[in-house]
Structure 1
Amino acid sequence: MDILQILILAIVQGAAELLPVSSSAHVIVAEKLMGLDPTAPAMTLLLVMLHTGTMFAVIAYFWRNWVETYFKSPHERRTNLIGIVTATVATGIVGLTLQYLIKHIVANGDPHFEIEQLFGNSKLMAAALAAGGVLIILSSRIKERSGVELSLKSSTLIGAVQGLCLPFRGFSRSGATISTGLVLGVSRRRAEEFSFALAVVLTPAVVAKELYRLVKHQGIAPGASFPSLIHMAAPGLLGMVFSFIAGLAALRWLSSWLESGKWYLFGGYCLVASLIVLWVN
């Protein structure tokens, strides 16, 4: 994998991960167009590093707003912490339940089945992209209401919708959670801040899972030397920097369109992208 390929993947992952357009669908298409194997250990490690870069971009972009919103008083800190924890628990319950049902219904209880085996299904990916696009367009038509707080019930519903995104590549996490917040009457800024607060909580778990799969499938031998690990991680470190920069640019873009009433355009893009996924595959 050369530097140009790393740069392309980092920009695609960094931007699409934070924009409501599904990074996984875009990365898979980009990998196929460049003739790369998404199941290769080096590719898995690279994507883990790219996820980490976008997570730091989210923290850097929202930190000041989070301090003003979540930590301005002990009461606000406690209330928002409960909301984030409740939403994350709802995500885990819905996501794990879906994975269990898929394993026992689609895979007939195959003990070797992993949810990642569905990620290459272009029809499923296109359907998820289209569903996300429709949700974004519908939510954009709801007028923003003032004075609506992010209640515990709303937090739980947003977390549950986030859980629906986990097994399905193409169903954008940020698009689904922000749209759900808008449907529930939460302000655009509050829905955006909460969505990405959930992302920061969720990303370490996703990264840890991918690293576990990498070791489990012997992508990294248990006795691998430190120089060999550095050699394997070097492309990822470079990609992490690129994805961080792309992530910051994407967040500015998202905030601008969300606040200026152009949110629906992301939905239209998802609908077009779903057709492209079917065409490429």
Structure 2
Amino acid sequence: MIDFLVLVKAFILGLVEGLTEFLPVSSTGHLILADHFLNFRQGVITKQVATTFEVVIQLGSILAVVVVFWKRLWSSVDFRKRNFTHSFNIFHIIIGIVPAGILGVLFQSDIKDKLFGPQTVVYALIAGGILMLVAELYSRKTVPTTVTMDELSYKQAFAIGLFQCLALWPGFSRSGSTIAGGLFVRASHQIAAEFSFIVAVPIMFGATALDLYKSAEYLSMDLWPVFAVGLVTAFLVALLAIVTFLKLVSRLKLIPFAIYRFVIAIILLLVFL
């Protein structure tokens, strides 16, 4: 029988994951803090099960992106389109995921062994915040040349894909790095954010599927309520977070999120170092 308190902790972690996965604030940093204060990895929840749980709730966030952008994703694989040079399509997504996909496969073990931890996440939070500030200042000195998804070029998609490689460093933030990359190639905030979310789907699905395969032995039926609560919570909260962020990003810009990252970095330093 699962303790009710464990379900409450699963709900809170799902809430944190859903709120932060696609905002440029680092879900990893927030989950490290939440896990520390909740003491989730105790009792029936072992370290291995807790790690698997984090993979499961990440899947909830990914599914939220699929729901929000299902029309765009579906149209991108519609090969009835004849004009692949003047419309957003599957090749933009492929080009955007290739750099991070290759590096992720080659260095997955090293990333997990050496870059997951409070100290390295603090460095990533600060570095990512600085990148976002620089990208924001750059965007204020230029005029966006890409204000619709169909105007996004393959060259821009590849450049944003290179920036996505930074997100392999836990704490850097996938959305933060890719949105910053979009601003550097003169996409609008809205388009940079939308492409950031879309290009994250195949990368995160692949990484999550691999992690779930490796963690299959910990997906115990006895713990299905814990996984279900976390996944559903992350899915519903991520839906709200994505829609809200897309409405606000053009007005808020990246600076408030960069400052918030510095605050989280300081809290992590105080708690762990």
The interval holding the TM-score normalised by the smaller chain is: 0.7 to 0.9
TM, length-normalised to structure 2: 0.84
The offset of 1:75, in angstroms, is 2.2
1:40 matches 2:47? yes
Q: Residue 83 of structure 2: SS of its match in structure 1?
A: helix
1:53 counterpart letter in structure 2: G
The offset of 1:233, in angstroms, is 2.7
The offset of 1:255, in angstroms, is 1.4
1:25 matches 2:23? no
TM, length-normalised to structure 1: 0.81
- Provide the residue aligned with 1:145 in structure 2: 143
Whether the 8 Å contact between 2:159 and 2:185 is mirrored in structure 1 is no
Runs of 5+ unmatched residues, structure 2: none
1:100-133 superposed Cα distances (whole Å, 9 cap, x missing partner): 8xxxxxxxxxxxx653223443221111001111
Structure 2: distance between partners of 1:64 and 1:91: 25
Change (3 A) 1:30 1:261: closer
The offset of 1:176, in angstroms, is 0.4
- Provide the residue aligned with 1:8 in structure 2: 12
Runs of 5+ unmatched residues, structure 1: 101-112, 221-228
1:117 matches 2:126? no
Change (3 A) 1:25 1:176: same
Structure 1: distance between partners of 2:22 and 2:204: 12
The 5 A counterparts of 1:197-212 are 197-212=198-213
The 5 A counterparts of 1:1-281 are 2-37=6-41, 40-64=47-71, 66=73, 73-76=81-84, 80-96=89-105, 99=107, 114-141=110-137, 142-143=139-140, 145-148=143-146, 149-166=151-168, 168-215=169-216, 219=218, 229-281=220-272
Structure 1: distance between partners of 2:73 and 2:189: 15
The offset of 1:73, in angstroms, is 4.0
State percent identity of aligned pairs.
30
Whether the 8 Å contact between 1:66 and 1:193 is mirrored in structure 2 is no
Q: 61-70 vs 173-182, which deviates more? A: 61-70
Whether the 8 Å contact between 1:45 and 1:233 is mirrored in structure 2 is no
Structure 2: distance between partners of 1:213 and 1:5: 24
User: How many residues in Structure 1 have an aligned counterpart in Structure 2?
Assistant: 257
Whether the 8 Å contact between 2:65 and 2:201 is mirrored in structure 1 is yes
Whether the 8 Å contact between 1:94 and 1:164 is mirrored in structure 2 is no
